[in-house]
Amino acid sequence: MDSKFYMDNFERLLKEKSDEFRMYPTRRVWRSIYNNIYPGRKFPSALISILFITMLPLIGLLNTKTTATTGNIALLSGNKIFITEVSQSASIKIAANTIAFVSSVELHKTNVRNIVAIIESTKEDKEKNINYNAANQRLNRFSLNNSAPKTSVSLTAKPDLTTNATPPVLEDDRNVHVINNNTIEKNIAAANYALQNSQTSQKWTDKLALQIYASPSIIYGVSAGPQTNVPSIEGNNMQNVGLEAGTAMQYPLSNILKIKAGLQFNYASYDIAANQPGHAPLISNDPATTNMNILARASDFSSTASAITLHNEMYQFSMPVGLEVKLLKHNNLQWNAGATIQPTYIAGGDAYLLSSNNHVDESVLINRWNLNAGFETFITYKVNNITWQLGPQFRYQFSSTYGKTYSGVDEKLAVFGVKIGVVKVLH
């Protein structure tokens, strides 16, 4: 038989030595714990990093094309010559005896000084009885650099020419054929125009556009049950209204793709229907002392579970960064689609916490930082230098509004709205 003394000593030895034993974990363990507790915090850095990394080669690829050039265009009306600078995306008026030219002639790796352009008539021109045969016949002939390639270019128009007649409006993106010397001799009669094309590159700041927008919206959200041993709460669907308003800068990467970034203010106001068990007491949670006090409850509800309504409000600031792509274009109308990633900061509001059968107004329990994704599609209409846009948009919140530690409730908002915006290119 083992003596009791020995048995106690043996177990005491085991306990002492085991308690003395230490092992130091690798850094990976803490990082995993942190990412699990704060899942929303890892996404912004990872996603934004991925966004910028993928954008860099894309920008490089898109910018390897020869940049379009603008130059001074001489416009003739009668015997007068007007020389003005031109820019993209403007409407133009054509006088009876004047040929209007457009900007952004794309020349492939040459320094062509003089070109000849023939304006191509479109179906719409023919319907409006507009043709440029006479105008084309009056084109001046210019000697072209022999190395100039034959190419068709798509040009945009120049605004505000003074004319005596009532001219039709020449729309954007009119095809103009640029042809070489030999072809001129054969096909083109000189007209009363002159063109000087200088290799003036457009500054990047000239391409920047400012967008201002607002979007009234409807808010949906789902509160899932808790993930710990807290008694379950029924899921709540919330529906209420909100408003998003903001401003963004846009920069075209190519003819169809734009990058945009800006600042946005979001306001959300929604109700939560919380089911409260009839027999549970009302408990208040004091965040200063962490004590939970059971209060006597006088309820207006019956002994069966009934819903009470809590009203939440939130004010947020976000920084949408994303892309916009042109899908279709017809004259001044255009159909676009866009997507953004929006790191968001909750600046304030009234947030009620659902936890077991407690309803506590505790704004410190919400996740201050969050990440949203926005998707939109819209129609634009351009008038002079202003582009109006209208279309639906959808925004989804990735992380829960509430921190995991206290609530055990996973609430994510989904916002559907109609976006109204105005875009103007800055010069």
Partner 1 sequence: MTEELLLAGCLQNNASSQEELYNRFSPRMLGVCYRFAKNREDAEDMLQEGFIKVFTQIHQYRNEGALEGWIRRIVVHTCINVLKKNKKFSDSVDISYASGIHVPEENIPSIVQAKQVVEYIRLLPIGYRTVLNLYAIEGYSHKEIAEMLDIEESTSRSQYTRAKAMLEDILIKKKILFNPRLNSVFAGAVAK
Interface with partner 1 (CB under 8 A): 2-3, 5-6, 9-11, 13-15, 17-26, 28-30, 32-34, 36-38, 228, 287, 290, 364-365, 403-406
Is residue 417 classed as helix, strand or coil in its secondary structure?
strand
Residue 318 · residue 267 · CB < 8 Å: no
CB nearer partner 1, residue 34 or residue 315: 34
Q: Write down the least CB distance from residue 14 to partner 1, Å.
A: 5
Cβ partners under 8 Å of residue 272, min gap 6: 223, 236, 238, 309, 310, 311, 312, 352, 354
Element (H, E) at 58: helix 39-62
DSSP structure class, residue 363: G
CA angle 225, 226, 232 (to 5 degrees): 65
CB nearer partner 1, residue 266 or residue 401: 401
CB nearer partner 1, residue 336 or residue 358: 358
CB nearer partner 1, residue 2 or residue 127: 2
Distance of CA 377 to the CA centre of its chain: 11
Backbone angles phi, psi at 39, to 5 degrees: -65, -30
Q: Write down the least CB distance from residue 37 to partner 1, Å.
A: 6
Any idea of the CA torsion for 238, 239, 245, 246, to the nearest 10 degrees?
Answer: 40
CB nearer partner 1, residue 2 or residue 300: 2
Q: Write down the least CB distance from residue 284 to partner 1, Å.
A: 14
Q: Write down the least CB distance from residue 369 to partner 1, Å.
A: 12
**Measured distance CA(32)–CA(317) in Å, rounded:** 29
Question: Where does 102-253 show beta strands of DSSP type E?
Answer: 116-119, 151-155, 169-170, 174-179, 194-195, 200-201, 209-224, 236-252
CB nearer partner 1, residue 302 or residue 405: 405
Q: Write down the least CB distance from residue 23 to partner 1, Å.
A: 4
CB nearer partner 1, residue 245 or residue 280: 280
39-62 helix and 27-37 helix, angle to the nearest 10 degrees: 90
**Measured distance CA(300)–CA(309) in Å, rounded:** 13
Cβ partners under 8 Å of residue 146, min gap 6: 180, 181
Q: Write down the least CB distance from residue 305 to partner 1, Å.
A: 25
Q: Write down the least CB distance from residue 242 to partner 1, Å.
A: 26
